Amino acid sequence: MQNDHPILFTHATLVDPASGTTSHGSIAVEKGVIVAMGAGLDPHVLPDGAEKIDVQGRVIAPGLIDLRAFVGEPGHEYRETLASASKAAAAGGVTTVVTMPDTHPVVDDPAVVDFLIRRARDTASVRMLPAAALTKGMLGQEMTEFGLLKEAGAVFMTDARTAVADPLVMRRALTYARDFDLLLVQHVEDQRLAGGVMNEGELASRLGLSGIAREAETLMLERDMRLVRLTSGRYHAAMISCADSVEIMQRARHDGLRVSCGVSINSLTLNENDIGPYRTFLKLSPPLRAEEDRQAVIAALAEGLIDVIVSDHDPQDVEAKRQPFADCADGAVGLQTLLSAAMRLVHGGDLSLVTLLRALSTRPADLLGLPQGRLQVGAPADLMVFDPDEPYVLEPDHLHSLCRNTAFDQARLQGVVHMTLVGGRVVHRLQGAFA
């Protein structure tokens, strides 16, 4: 994902979340990497013929890295393909996407991993990295061949939207993965306890909907922390959503366990009240929680206790969502709106831009051992150029995903991506940008 077309960006606000610094100046990109940057950059640092772009004070930052996106290919291409997901990602400043293994067939065989890597190379405009199933068929009973799947290119092991319920299977998986230095990612929800369709509480009762107790999340998370202590494995909770889960993670970190966790952009920017008149696009897993839970996960993110923000991009077709709230499918698309939705936290004073971008790029890169996620000389030129203050109203027809089930339908958002580069190659350029 690179070309030999050098680019010099001038008059930029340079934000490097890895070092926590913000500066003003220029940045030069050549042969897929950042070759120079700074305030007094010599315009002749690049050869004659280099494209020079005046970004007029806009922010240049590392491209976002999303650790959780559901893509239908192979088997459910009517929901999303690698090509359409990558187009949505590029428009949102996302340069690396980790795809979940709940495809058809399930990504539990090295041959399927190899297919996805080759298919992404041929059709996708951003980096698409496959995660592999933790158990065969994602049935929670028998472990997959971790070593072979890692060798084929899987970046971590997960059963996607299903938690591994059997503690013995999870213990063995943590022990086995430890020997390969593999990350296990768990969807922390005990389906046997969940049994509802929205957050349990007064609002669910008033709406006449069955509730999902926070304990469906916290009991699974607490159990897993004890298994991590027993095995010394690497563990990542895909998404936590409530204050009690924050406390559990805090204790685990204090005890020195090798654990990390993420949070969905939906849990950070929406709460159960947004469901309103049974808005099915807001039926999610984990469910939108109470406002006090939302504030707790925001505070944990600001403190660095929560490592990453994910889009939890989950396309569902019209028939799956045009059902009564209790019967419709979970999930919302989120790749294209990840950055602008997250900017609500910056504009609201909850997070600094550097802290936000660290959770969207640097920390995900660190967890996967990738060189991306930093704005430094020699780093890959996976970059986005965006205006953090530019407003827009989200029109579903402007989404590049094949499905339109966005949680931010008609929302007023700020933060427009004008250009996205992957390996120095322009994969998205807003019409009329930098004219």
With beta carbons less than 8 A apart as the criterion, state whether 410 and 17 touch. Answer: no
With beta carbons less than 8 A apart as the criterion, state whether 412 and 397 touch. Answer: no
**Does 389 participate in catalysis according to the annotation?**
no
Please list the alpha-helical segments (H only) found in 5-145: 82-91, 110-123
The Cα–Cα gap between 125 and 421 comes to 10
Residue 310 bridge partners (DSSP): 264
Q: Looking at 240-307, which runs of residues are DSSP E strands?
A: 259-264
Residue 425 bridge partners (DSSP): 422
Burial of residue 374, with CB atoms counted within 10 A of its CB: 0-12 exposed, 13-18 middle, 19 or more buried: buried
Alpha-carbon distances of 280 from 123, 273, 275, 327, rounded to whole Å: 31, 13, 8, 9
The Cα–Cα gap between 274 and 265 comes to 14
The Cα–Cα gap between 166 and 140 comes to 7
CA 128 to chain centre: 12
CA 193 to chain centre: 26
Tokens of 30: 């050549």
Find, among 315, 372, 326, 418, the residue nearest to 93 by Cα: 418
Q: Which residues contact 43 (CB under 8 A, 6 or more apart)?
A: 8, 10, 26, 52
Q: Looking at 39-80, which runs of residues are DSSP E strands?
A: 51-54, 59-62, 64-69
The Cα–Cα gap between 282 and 272 comes to 9
Catalytic residue among 293, 312, 382, 387: 312
What one-letter code names the amino acid at 237? A
- Tally Cβ neighbours within 10 Å of residue 367: 22
Find, among 215, 159, 151, the residue nearest to 184 by Cα: 159
Point out the residues that are catalytic.
312
